[in-house]
Every structure is written in structure tokens, then in C-alpha cells.
Amino acid sequence: EVQLVESGGGLVQPGRSLKLSCVASGFTFNNYWMTWIRQAPGKGLEWVASITNTGGSTYYPDSVKGRFTISRDNAKSTLYLQMNSLRSEDTATYYCTRGPTRFDYWGQGVMVTVSS
Amino acid sequence: DVVLTQTPVAQPVTLGDQASISCRSSQSLVHSNGNTYLEWYLQKPGQSPQLLIYKVSNRFSGVPDRFIGSGSGSDFTLKISRVEPEDLGVYYCFQATHDPFTFGSGTKLEIK
């Protein structure tokens, strides 16, 4: 059974950093691109970052480019999202998903709250 | 950025009836490789989103044939026939043709 389990969320002050993790199981992790998608409270979905199966290439929208870094450790079947210079508008539930598109599996999400 | 406009914002429906959701793009979603990367997701209350349709009209594994995706270019539709209670939630369209990838703002399917 495919599982994606996120962790690392919490309350953080504006300007500070946080690192999310997503442990994958039930599939060959290093065969798949992975993506982070977020959802602000009561709002819609936003694509945040994607990474190729090897980790050799990464992709971001302008809203997080230069502040967020997606990475992966294929030996540990783990996806990461390093978030720096956090802003209030980064407050959201962050989902780990499988794929560059056609997101067929999603984690349960982890909440990040940016507030002083 | 590509803007996906979903209508209606909310769709009241009687169980057993058909529902239809529109997703219009600010530009064509036909990729240079000829594919159209338009997808549909359903987020049920309190749950993570789930994939329904990819590349306009392809149903994901396990999705009932009551869900039908159609359209081309910049105009797309999701039809749900014989709506059942488990179909209720928020539907999002998503495009992966143009960078950055974008979602529509969602359509809430609710009981009339």
C-alpha cells in the first residue's frame, strides 16, 4: 500500500525557517518525481515545488522561488521541503504528493502556521 | 501565469441528478508535445485531494464511469452523472501544461 507521511510542521515566527519531511512507502521511491502542494486555511490548492526522481532538477513558482528548497534522499525514501524567510502568507497545510502531475497519491498533510 | 476559472463556485444538486462543472483557461492548454495536461481533483470534507481525471478525459484507476471529463483548448467540463453522497466536496481543475502549474479556485458540490 502506498503511503506518504508528512511531518515537521508547526508554529514559526515570520522570517524564520522550517523543514518538512515526507516518508514514502509502498512503492519504489526513486522511480518517481515528487511534489509539494499547499492549501491555505479555507482556500484552494497551490503548487509549491517539484523534484525529478533523481533529485537532479527542481521546479518552483515565483511565490516561493529563492526561499523554499525541495530535496530528497532516495536511500531513505524521504522527500523534504526547506522553507526559509517564512511569511504569513505561507501559512497552510502542506501536502506531499507523487508525480510531476497526475498526483495519484497524497499524504494527510502537515500544518504550518507563520505568526508572531 | 495561467488562470483557471471554475464555474459555478457552488453547485447545489439533488442526489441522483447530474452535475456539471466548467473550467476555462486564460490560454490554450495544448502542450507543444500535443498533450493537454488538464486534471480534475476532488477534496472531500476533512480529506486530502484525490485524483479523478488526467489529460482531460482519462479516469484514474477506481474512479467510477459516472465521472466524465471533456473539452479541448481552453474550455473543459467535468460531468458527474447520478450524483451520490460520496461525490460531495470541492472539485478543482489543474493545469500542468504551462509553468507555473496552477489550480482553479474550486467548485463546491453540495446537496440542494
Whether B51 has its CB under 8 Å from any CB of chain A: the answer is: yes
Chain B residues touching residue A60 (CB < 8 angstroms): 100
Query: Residues A16-64: pLDDT tens digits?
Result: 999 999 999 999 999 999 999 999 999 999 999 999 999 999 999 999 9
* Closest to B40 (Cα-Cα) out of B87, B98, B100: B87
Contact B94 A45 (CB under 8 A): yes
**Sequence-ordered list of residues with C-beta below 8 angstroms from that of B26, at least 6 positions apart, any chain:** B2, B3, B4, B5, B74
Query: Residues B73-91: pLDDT tens digits?
Result: 999 999 999 999 999 999 9
Contact B51 A44 (CB under 8 A): no
B45 confidence band (pLDDT: 50, 70, 90): very high
- Determine the distance in angstroms separating the CA of B10 from the nearest CA of chain A, rounded to an integer: 14
Average pLDDT over residues A87-99: 98
- Position A17 scores a pLDDT of 98
Average pLDDT over residues A88-94: 98
**Sequence-ordered list of residues with C-beta below 8 angstroms from that of A47, at least 6 positions apart, any chain:** A35, A37, A61, B100, B101, B102, B103
Whether B105 has its CB under 8 Å from any CB of chain A: the answer is: yes
Average pLDDT over residues B25-44: 98
Contact A45 B37 (CB under 8 A): no
Cα-based torsion angle of the residue sequence B8, B96, A71, B44 in order, rounded to the nearest 10 degrees: 30
Chain B residues touching residue A37 (CB < 8 angstroms): 49
Percent helix, strand, coil in chain A, to 5, is: 5, 50, 45
In angstroms, rounded to a whole number, what is the distance separating the alpha carbons of residues B38 and B75? Answer: 10
Q: What is the largest CA-CA distance in chain A?
A: 40
Tell me which chain A residue has its CA closest to the CA of residue B100: A61
Whether B96 has its CB under 8 Å from any CB of chain A: the answer is: yes
- Position B112 scores a pLDDT of 87
- The DSSP element (H or E) to which A48 belongs, if any, is strand A45-51
Cell numbers of A102, please? 497526475
Question: Does the pLDDT value for residue A88 go beyond 90?
Answer: yes
- First CA to last CA distance, chain B: 35
